[in-house]
Amino acid sequence: MSSCFTISLSLLFFFINFVGTESAPTFLRHYCPNTTLFTPNSAYQSNLNTLLSSLASAAADGTDGFANATVGQNHPDQLYGLFLCRGDVNTATCSDCVATGKQDILQRCPNQRVSVIWYDECMLRYSDGSIYSVMEQVPSFKMYHTRNITNQTHFMRVLGEAMDDIAARASVGKSGKKVAVAEANFTSLQKLYTLAQCTPDLMVSECNTCFRAAIAGLPRGKQGGRLFTPSCSMRFELYPFYHASAMAALVPPPPAPVTRRK
């Protein structure tokens, strides 16, 4: 993403969504700097429409929840785009989210040469500079549960261990998706649920760098929280917020034991 993305957003507000509710994509936040405008009815606008249609088609065709595209031959009319769907959502949900973003981003960011929009189910972005295989930590924003956690010292230890675990596993991403989840015991009656995801075009070291910064920026002392950047996201809650069965399907079963003949 171009150098105009230098301001880190810190938008703190309460949000909860329940897993399994079939509904329209849940809008979270958009970002589009007013310093990068294109002329209406220009070649750039035509290329942008083509780009967004291409990404929406890719999402509908099933692309493992991620795709990128480039439209145009030369600057200033060339542009780049990609989408990333949350690792546990199915193709239909992913497609619906990207299709919604295709329309929504043009309304929320009119005449913008650089834009990114986040939903609970996906992220969609485009730029007049190459964004593929480029790790971006800004703009970023975070959300948190309004209730404070009890026994913060113990909670932060459990959370830290869980985040370290999923950051390491999501970074290597051998399933075609760089995503990982974990459940941890906070108390004997309460579990902690965590998720980390990185765009699969990035190298292991780049994902890990993005996750480390995200972990440092997560809200402290809260019962739940998330942090989003263009390249990665992390979340923790005291209730299940992802589809465990879909995540389990991403992890191949261990190889069957070899039976040796005597």
Q: What are phi and psi of 119, to 5 degrees?
A: -120, 170
The radius of gyration of the chain's CA atoms, rounded to the nearest angstrom, is 19
How far apart are the C-alpha atoms of 37 and 111, rounded to whole Å? 5
- pLDDT at residue 261, rounded to an integer: 52
- pLDDT at residue 207, rounded to an integer: 97
Contact in structure between 65 and 82 (CB atoms under 8 Å): no
Contact in structure between 197 and 86 (CB atoms under 8 Å): yes
- pLDDT at residue 251, rounded to an integer: 62
Tell how strand 141-144 and strand 79-85 pair up: unpaired
The count of other CB atoms within 10 Å of the CB of residue 11 is 13
Question: One digit per residue, pLDDT tens: the chain, 262 residues?
Answer: 433 332 233 333 333 343 344 579 999 999 998 778 999 999 999 999 999 999 999 999 987 899 999 999 888 899 999 999 999 999 999 999 999 999 999 999 999 999 999 999 999 999 999 999 999 999 999 999 999 998 899 999 999 999 999 999 999 987 679 999 999 999 889 999 999 999 999 999 999 999 999 999 999 999 999 999 999 999 999 999 999 888 887 765 444 454 455 4
- pLDDT at residue 22, rounded to an integer: 55
Contact in structure between 20 and 145 (CB atoms under 8 Å): no
What domains are there in the chain, each with its CATH number?
Answer: 27-127 (3.30.430.20), 141-250 (3.30.430.20)
- pLDDT at residue 213, rounded to an integer: 96
Q: Can you give the pTM of this predicted structure? A: 0.86
User: What residues contact residue 177 under an 8 Å CB cut-off, 6+ apart?
Assistant: 64, 65, 66, 87, 197, 200, 250
Residue count (the chain): 262
